[in-house]
Structure 1
Amino acid sequence: MTCPAFSLLYYLYDLLAPTQSSSPPALAVVILDIFAGECAMHRYIAQANVDHYIALLNGADLMPDRRSAITKMLISEEDGLGHDLEQLEFFEHRAAAGRKRVEHVSSLRDGFAFGTQERRQAEELLVNIENLQTLLEDSCHRLRRKIHSRGL
């Protein structure tokens, strides 16, 4: 993950590190621990937000304007996360769970008779879940492209 504090950290580390010694000064280690903790907390909160938005978007009772707003927040949160292998793994797990969810709701829909209210509701839910799945798959593709372009 790209943490804004890391550029400052590297500057301070270079400033504080002795040129002849291979071990970093204690202050640089403390600074590294602080920034790493802040970045880990930022990542945890962002991932929790993504999971929360996915849970909301999986609901059947969202109005289209609210669904659109939550989708925008999900995309924004994804953009704010780093573009590294850990984030790719995070989104790949969500996409894999989403594929299972699409299959499950599709099976449920198929269990209802054509023309019934239950079938119509299941079809609406399936469309919403498929749209979310497309978003998750797109996120995985974007992350893969960014990672491969950097040669990680």
Structure 2
Amino acid sequence: MQGYVARANIDHYIGLLNGNDLPPHNRDTILKLLIAEEDTLSHDLEHLEFAESRAASGRQRLNHLMGLRSAFAPGTTERAQADRLLVNFERLQTLLDELCHRLRDKVSSRGV
């Protein structure tokens, strides 16, 4: 049950972080909550698969956003907003990739 709640919370936090209307202070708080929730996951293959699927989805979103960003002319307000959003997505993707790496290390050390 605890694993289910942790995965649901992680999905919720990722959804919030994917929004573009989140103030920086709230974004930092949600990032801290996301990291804390990730740490509650047990280190088994099921949670590794969950983390890898979220990281793969994040990479797809990041690539999509990069394409959208390039459609805006440099120096425009839209481009500046897309640049800020891209930085936030890159930070989130780094966290997701780090989670996968940590879980892979834990799972492999257990011999699963």
- Per the TM alignment, residue 60 of structure 1 is displaced from its structure 2 partner at its CA by 1.1
Give the structure 2 partner of residue 130 of structure 1: 90
- The alignment yields a C-alpha RMSD, in angstroms, of 0.7
Query: Aligned pairs, how many?
Result: 112
Moved over 3 A (4+): none
Amino acid at match of 2:42: G
> Residues 54-88 of structure 1: CA distance to partner in whole angstroms, max 9, x if unpaired?
00111111122111110111111111111110000
Equivalent residue for 2:54?
94
**Which one-letter code corresponds to 2:75 in the other structure?**
G
Q: Which residue of 2 aligns with 1:49?
A: 9
| Aligned-partner residue type, residue 24 of structure 2 | P
Cα-to-partner distance string for 1:125-145 (whole Å, 9 max, x where unaligned):
011001000000000000001
* SS of equivalent residue, structure 2 residue 33: helix
* C-alpha distance in structure 2 between counterparts of 1:120 and 1:92, whole Å: 30
| Distance across 2 between alignment mates of 1:61 and 1:135 | 20
Aligned sequence identity (%): 62
Deviation at 1:42, TM superposition (A): 1.7
Segments of structure 2 that go 5 or more residues without pairing to the other structure are none
Deviations 1:8-40 (A, max 9, x none): xxxxxxxxxxxxxxxxxxxxxxxxxxxxxxxxx
